[in-house]
Amino acid sequence: GENVEQHPSTLSVQEGDSAVIKCTYSDSASNYFPWYKQELGKRPQLIIDIRSNVGEKKDQRIAVTLNKTAKHFSLHITETQPEDSAVYFCAAINTGTASKLTFGTGTRLQVTL
């Protein structure tokens, strides 16, 4: 089955700096890659996703890039703000086989003032 690795496990940046979280996946047939943000004690919330037919997607300060050849995808947050502090999870799935969405182990992002 799919295996998703996520790095780093913790990330501390100063407000206004950029943050990058990286994930690799094992199943070359995976074609959908969502990112979730989870604040302490709250539900994981979908913040951005990308499908394998595109290489990059942006939504305001958040962007995701996908390298299918290398089987890795990354989350980029620019101009970080204290409210960006949370745990971020990447995930991958091959929607063609209706297999399960496999999550990474999470990255705890701390944005300091």
Partner 1 sequence: EAGVVQSPRYKIIEKKQPVAFWCNPISGHNTLYWYRQNLGQGPELLIRYENEEAVDDSQLPKDRFSAERLKGVDSTLKIQPAELGDSAVYLCASSPGALATNEKLFFGSGTQLSVL
Binding site for partner 1 (CB under 8 A): 6, 32, 34, 36, 42-46, 49, 51, 89, 91, 93, 95, 98-101, 103-106
Of 106, 90, 105, give the one whose Cα is nearest residue 32: 90
Q: Which is closer to partner 1, CB of 2 or CB of 78?
A: 2
Q: Which is closer to partner 1, CB of 18 or CB of 97?
A: 97
Longest dimension (CA), the chain: 45
Angle made by CA atoms 105, 80, 113, in degrees to the nearest 5: 105
Q: Which is closer to partner 1, CB of 10 or CB of 81?
A: 10
- Shortest distance in whole angstroms from residue 3 CB to partner 1: 12
38 burial class (0-12, 13-18, 19+ CB within 10 angstroms)? middle
- Shortest distance in whole angstroms from residue 32 CB to partner 1: 6
d(CA 87, CA 105): 10
Q: Which is closer to partner 1, CB of 61 or CB of 100?
A: 100
- Shortest distance in whole angstroms from residue 109 CB to partner 1: 14
